[in-house]
Amino acid sequence: MGRQDGSGRQISADDVDDRSATVLHVDLDAFFVSVELLSHPEFVHLPVIVGHRGGRSVVTAANYIARRYGVNSAMPMALALRQCPNAIVLEPHMGLYRDYSSRVMSIFDDVTPLVERLGIDEAFLDVSGATNLFGSPAVIGELIRARVFAETRLVCSVGAASTKFVAKLASGLSKPNGMLVVPADDTIEFLHPLPVTALWGVGAATEQTLTRLGLKLIGDIAHTPLDVLKKTLGEASGSKLFELSWGRDPRSVTLEREEKSVGHEVTFEHDVTDIDRLRSELLRQCDLVAARLRRGNLVARRVSLKLRYTDFSTVTRSRTLAEPSNVGRRIYEEAVAAFDLLAATGIRVRLIGVRAEQLGTASGSVGLWDPDEDWRGAELAVDSVTERFGAGIVRPASFFKPRP
């Protein structure tokens, strides 16, 4: 799709009919790198990586030039420099990123009160009530892009559509520094030629399953009988992918809730190098985090992984859930996906932790489909057993290895 390096970029024509595209997804392009380049304009046309040069360090961010060499965030720095030996490496400054993020988000707030922040560098905006004041959605998108650049010298990409799912896809395809509008009537034409990996919830394992069925494009999923998808992927996942393949996404833009988090972490007595043991510990922690969320009637939108290595260097990686959840298996899927990007051979881990972030109340959080339905019942049953008999009575089978 060209999301990582800007190849295959798509932007809208000036005369696009945007009246139905009132949901905007605004994403700052290569945000960390772009902020650093404000202080180093001499490197703008060179491959640039943000991160520490230490032997165990990983890439925090890379600009589009570096991405064309195959450099991506969370990649070991040593590998990144082998792939792009002429890259400029700049140290990260998180306080600076938070400051610029705050300035950009205030621009969004000036346009509409309906701003749903997804992280430090992206947000959904519902501009349906702002068109009388500022103009059409496309005009508002360009106004935002112009203000962001004028006030911060940063660039952003905008996707505009009738749903959040399609708007986010559109912003990714318009990168870098573009805007793509998908009118409601053009949604199917836009979606169906895209690869199945563009759908939320399609990771490597699901992609392999779909490929075995001969389903490579979103249009292939749309024209597959729903019963076949449910049988192959499960009731919830099959229904969700089918609905998304037809552009159906019932979620509205919701206001940011008070920032809270729930987490667990452990410091090992001796550094751990066994990847399977680390994954097992992640599963244990995700189950604990999910149980705490359920007790508080909360769901999480984002999952954050924390690793501290033997030299005390620490990295964190966050992933946004397609749907807010309080199911341990769903939280674990995101946490282990982040972990697997960092789990290089020879890794020596001193501390590992998981945190659920961007919390909201569980009531009313499930939309047209419930992607966690397959696991929720089992985990609620475990909650009941735990409440009666204490923690640790029921544990996942993956915690136990067969005896030789």
What is the residue type of 7?
A: S
Taking alpha carbons only, the member of 179, 174, 117 closest to residue 357 is: 117
Provide the annotated active-site residues. Answer: 122
3-state SS string for the chain: CCCCCCCCCCCCCCCCCCCCCCEEEEEECCHHHHHHHHHCHHHCCCCEEEECCCCCCEEEEECHHHHCCCCCCCCEHHHHHHHCCCCEEECCCHHHHHHHHHHHHHHHHHHCCCEEECCCCEEEEECCCCHHHHCCHHHHHHHHHHHHHHHHCCCEEEEEECCHHHHHHHHHHCCCCCEEECCHHHHHHHHCCCEHHHCCCCCHHHHHHHHHCCCCEHHHHHCCCHHHHHHHHCHHHHHHHHHHHCCCCCCCCCCCCCCCEEEEEEEEEEEECCHHHHHHHHHHHHHHHHHHHHHCCEEEEEEEEEEEECCCCEEEEEEEEEEEECCHHHHHHHHHHHHHHHCCCCCCEEEEEEEEEEEEECCCCCCCCCCCHHHHHHHHHHHHHHHHHCCCCCCCHHHCCCCC
Q: How far apart are CA 221 and CA 261, in angstroms?
A: 36
- Give yes or no for a contact between 224 and 244, defined as CB atoms under 8 angstroms apart: no
Q: How far apart are CA 111 and CA 38, in angstroms?
A: 25
